[in-house]
Chain A
Amino acid sequence: MTDRYFFWMALVFYVGASALTLWRLRSNRAVSALHHINVLLIVAGFLMQLVGLILRGQNLHRCPLTNPFEVTIFIVWALVLFYLLIGPSYRVSFLGAFTAPVVTLMLFASLLAASDTPHVPALKHSPWIEFHAGIGILACGAFALAFVVAAMDLVQDRQLKSHHPGPTFRLLPAVQQLDVIGVRLLMLGFGLLTVGMIGGAISDKIVGAWPWPKVAWAWATWLAYAALLAARTVGNWHGRRAAVATMAAFIFLLSAYWSMSWLAR
């Protein structure tokens, strides 16, 4: 069985979790068992993805981060990892329900797109590069979950502003709680990104110069998130504006990465 088989299996579980979310919204039923099934489906998808990544890593004899497909798969995996860590500890209701569709879309898009092509890395293999890339991907996972939390924040804010709360109103957490979690995820992601950037700078000295599009992307991402974090902490950005900015930052991160990868090819 190839690694892609496990990625497809993961997608099946994530689709199941997304379908369950839609059903919960339509039926308007508060059944705690459904929440547990949702978490189990996401855990199953996470494990399938892990097996797929391990198999691919064994084939490549390195961390599977050699092309945009692998990077996206890894970001999705990191996103689910943070969801599994953050969700229970903060008791964020319905986080899984919002995470599942995002994960499904990203995984489905990467499996269908012709981005899984053999890629000869520009730099020779080094543990520093793997450290830099791995930490960077974890940072992206935290930013991706911040994106999900911001989407929840926007939906809840919209419902409160509408004066006619809809079916998701009771399922979603308080806007203030989502705001706090969003900031903490951004702090975590930014910390990881900074460590990854330091690793990148060290590997630059050891292995050789990084291609300029990657360096530009890394700096642009770092500056964008630094500005966002400053706005949300020191600048008192809360609520809708903060949520929109957080979502825009992640969309910028992904689109800039894919553009940069295309340029590099």
Chain B
Amino acid sequence: MNLVIVGLNHCSAPVAVRERVAFPRAQLGAATCELLSVAPLAEVAIVSTCNRVEIYALAADAGQAALALRRYLHTYHKLTEPIDAHLYERHNRECIAHLLSVVCGLDSMVLGETEILGQVKDAYAAAQQAGATGAALNRLFQKAFAAAKHIRSTTAITRGSTSVANVAVELAEKIFRDLTQSTVMIIGTGAMSEATAKALRSRGAGTVLICGRDRDRSAALAGQLGGRAIHYDDWLVEFPMVDIAISATASPHPIVTREKLISLMKARHNRPLFLIDIGVPRDIETACDELENVYLYNMDDLQQIANENLAAREREIDVCRELIAERVARLVEWLEERYQ
């Protein structure tokens, strides 16, 4: 018996192809059952996310099984043009190594991302409920999940955020004791400030104040974030209550100066203040960072931390591969013993 995988991912296929072969989550179970009935397979599981579609199978003849899986992808999705050029195929050892790399986030678009583990777990659960898995795939997936847990806890592959918005959230969590008690103010709306505010809100940030010149836009964003829109001219009035300020105005001069901030810090009893300056030219005087309990970051600072985090994750790849190789060897041994 052989393990086989046929699939495509963000590296092998553009999004236009990936979206055509994606399996709706609700149909995963039915698709695995159908696949078992039409192809010469003993066990099967389908993993389908926005970045990958992969079919894992156990079959007596690896070549025939792979051919059947390719054909099934075409017929199930009623493809008029062949997608074989985008599909990859792995057998036995390579198949096991691939799954372990996938669940550990080594094969993801964002290196080390953790969402994929949950998605593969869901796919495995759907196949298991459909009765499409047996001893081989059960062991393969369960060992893969255990490996992912171990690698995530013993290496730095998931450490640090790699997006600017999440880096800002991570910094906020190291300044404030409880984000739910924090008030966030966006001065001047824009894609980056919105993304950062959304990331903060998703981590539980308490109140969000939207302050922009365009009242309709501010009100719409306030509605989206569950916040409150205030007039641009009122930002200074509300500022003493604010803990995190994201500034992205088109002002040609700094709107927050050191002198202004000194009096504002007195009004807020010197509590910590996190300032994120996304404006170009900058909205907040760099001298503000010299003030005690004021933490000022601009776009370059955040991007640099995100890059450093990504580089740190990349340095962990070899360690992860070594840990994966040990587990792959054990699984291959087990597979050979069982199906000799």
Contacts and interface: CB of A to CB of B under 8 A. Distances in A.
A160 B155 contact: no
Contacts of B155: 29
B270 A164 contact: no
B206 interface: no
Contact of A30 (B153, B173, B270, B272): B153
Q: Is the interface of B mostly helix, strand, loop or mixed?
A: loop
Contact of B177 (A28, A160, A172, A174): A174
Contacts of A241: 292
Contacts of A173: 174, 177
A265 interface: no
B289 A175 contact: no
A239 B295 CA distance: 11
Nearest to A160: B295
Interface string A20-49: 000000001111100000000000000000
Interface residues of A, number: 26
A30 B174 contact: no
A175 B177 CA distance: 7
Interface in B269-302: 269-272, 289, 292-293, 295, 297, 301
A255 interface: no
Contacts of B289: 161
Contacts of A30: 153, 156, 159
Contact of B174 (A32, A175, A180, A240): A175
B36 interface: no
Contact of B305 (A156, A165, A237): A165
A29 B323 CA distance: 15
Contacts of A217: none
Contact of B269 (A164, A165, A236): A236
A134 B183 CA distance: 44
Nearest to B266: A236
A82 interface: no
B307 to A, nearest CB: 11
A232 to B, nearest CB: 10
B176 interface: yes
A239 B176 CA distance: 12
Given A30-B159, A240-B292, A160 B305 contact: no
A163 B301 contact: yes
Contacts of B153: 30-32
Interface string B131-144: 00000000000000
B160 interface: yes
A239 B292 contact: yes
B13 interface: no
B281 to A, nearest CB: 19
A169 B301 contact: no
A239 B174 CA distance: 13
Contacts of A160: 171, 174-175, 295
A176 B177 contact: yes
B154 interface: yes
B173 A174 contact: yes
B301 A176 contact: no
A55 B320 CA distance: 51
A214 interface: no
A238 interface: yes
A225 B14 CA distance: 66
B305 A238 contact: no
B156 A28 contact: yes
B175 A161 contact: no
Given A30-B156, A31-B154, A164-B308, A238 B293 contact: yes
B272 A239 contact: yes
A170 interface: yes
Nearest to B181: A176
Contacts of B271: 176, 238
A177 interface: yes
Given A156-B174, A169-B174, A172-B174, A238 B272 contact: yes
Given A161-B289, A164-B305, A236-B270, A170 B159 contact: yes
Contacts of B297: 163
A29 B158 CA distance: 11
Contacts of A156: 174
B314 to A, nearest CB: 14
Given A160-B175, A169-B174, A239 B305 contact: no
Interface in B247-271: 269-271
A245 B7 CA distance: 62
Interface of B: 153-156, 159-160, 171, 173-177, 269-272, 289, 292-293, 295, 297, 301, 304-305, 308
25 contacts: A28-B159, A30-B153, A31-B154, A32-B153, A160-B174, A161-B295, A163-B301, A164-B304, A169-B174, A170-B174, A172-B174, A173-B174, A174-B174, A174-B175, A174-B176, A174-B177, A175-B174, A176-B175, A238-B270, A238-B292, A239-B270, A239-B272, A239-B293, A240-B292, A240-B293
Given A164-B305, A172-B174, 9 more contacts: A30-B156, A31-B154, A164-B308, A165-B305, A170-B160, A176-B272, A239-B292, A239-B293, A240-B293
Interface of A: 28-32, 156, 160-161, 163-165, 169-170, 172-177, 180, 236-241
Which 9 residue pairs across A and B have the least CB separation, nearest first? A177-B177, A176-B177, A239-B293, A236-B270, A236-B269, A163-B301, A160-B295, A238-B270, A176-B176
